[in-house]
Amino acid sequence: MSEVTLSIPGSDSREPDNRIPLLNSANAQEARRVLDLCNACRYCEGFCATFQALSQRREVLWQELDYFSNLCHNCTACYHACQYAPPHEFSINVPLALGRVRADSYQRYAWPGFLAPLFQRNGLILSLVTAVVLSLILVIGSLFLNHQVLFAQLSQPGAFYTIVSHRLMVTVAGLVFLYGLVSMTISVRRFCLDCGTAGGKGSWRGLKQALQSAATLRYLGGGHGQGCNTENEGYSNQRRVYHQLTMWGFLLCFAATCAATLYELGLGRISPFPYFSLPVILGASGGVAILVGTAGLTWTKLRTDTRPADVSSYGMDFGFLALLFFVSLTGLVLLGLRETSAMGVLLLVHLGFVLSLFLVLPYSKFVHAIYRFAALVCFHEEELQQNRQSHQSDT
């Protein structure tokens, strides 16, 4: 099968290795065919950012396919409104076509790339196996080193570091976090280089508008604010709500980690902290939000209409949701039983799932949030440029 190479105008100075070929040119060709037909029709022009950006072009260039695919929020409103959707001979299915290109983009931009196809095909199994194996390694290692401490009932400040030393915990977690951060930074840089021509030079105003769109999940409103289409072609904001719970729960847990670091390094207070301390309140609230959000997203995905969905990428989706769910579950169970003899084992199991989450993060569905935000920045910058040009022409 021939490959389609992303050739970016004005970027000839880039090294040839950075010109990342589309792994599946059939997906790219189908996406371009569908978008060209949609651009001629324009019935869905006001639905979402994807069609608004499309309406500003006479044709879609190869290098813009990743931009369009990650700008799409997969609300499926266009599919259910389209008069040319299957079984029409035009067979227009925008969510499916862009979903396949979007899944390809996760593989192409991942670094190191050789691991990406494994998680694309077997994301759920690999994610859970990684978490279980890491948890077993930590528990078995602790049994050999000091099994009496592992099953001791500890509740004093510094009890967690009796099970795993502070230095070891910080070193291992720091290295894993650094790996994930470096990997995703390289991936996002590649994506932005290939899609950056869509929005031109960025501005603070464009960034602010992108943040507003991302924080409110504006484009999961289906173009009318009533939400995504359900399995019976009705409307529901459930997916939007569960996304919000998962997103804000994740941010609350991150804030809890930052607060705990401040407590220990700045205030000299050692974990485990009191139940009504800021790190515990933030972490518990975030954990509950993630539990509800990930469970809800799994439930809605299992009940959704599969015709406009890229079912082949479900393993990647469910793998990330499962890891988030079990990280939150093990953390909340540890919080509830931290003054019992089960604390040691629960702590190591929780750490195993946390390490697994950050190891697979660059290959998980988490990257869709980063790529989509980058696409939103490009889109809003395009809007600002068009508004400026329109204003100049009027004057």
Q: 66-80 as b/e, with b when 16 or more CB fall inside 10 Å?
A: bbbbbbbbbbbbbbb
Buried b (16+ CB within 10 A) or exposed e, 308-346: bbbeebbbbbbbbbbbbbbbbbbbbebbeebeeebbbbb
Give me the pLDDT at residue 393, please.
Answer: 67
Q: Residue 235: what pLDDT?
A: 82
Secondary structure of residue 339 in the 3-state scheme: coil
Per-residue pLDDT tens for 88-146?
999 999 999 999 999 988 888 888 887 777 666 677 888 899 999 999 999 999 998 88
Cα separation, 334 vs 161, whole angstroms: 14
Alpha helices in 17-93 (DSSP H): 25-41, 49-54, 65-71, 77-81
pLDDT tens, residue by residue, 288-302: 999 999 999 999 998
Residue whose pair of structure tokens reads 């518990």 in the numeric block: 284
Decide: 217 and 261 in contact? Cβ < 8 Å: no
pLDDT for 11 = 35
Query: What are the beta bridge partners of residue 229?
Result: 235
Contact by Cβ (8 Å): 158, 338: no
Q: Which residues pair with 258 in a beta bridge?
A: none
Asked whether the bond before 86 is cis by omega within 30 degrees of 0, the reply is no
User: How big is the chain by its Cα radius of gyration, in Å?
Assistant: 23
Q: How many CB atoms lie within 10 A of CB 271?
A: 17
Q: Angle between the 166-195 and 94-109 helix axes, to the nearest 10 degrees?
A: 120
Q: What are phi and psi of 5, to 5 degrees?
A: -95, 135
pLDDT less than 70: residues of the chain:
1-24, 118-121, 196-202, 391-395
Instruction: Compute the distance between CA of residue 383 and CA of residue 395 in angstroms, rounded to an integer.
Output: 18
- Which pLDDT does position 341 carry in this prediction? 92
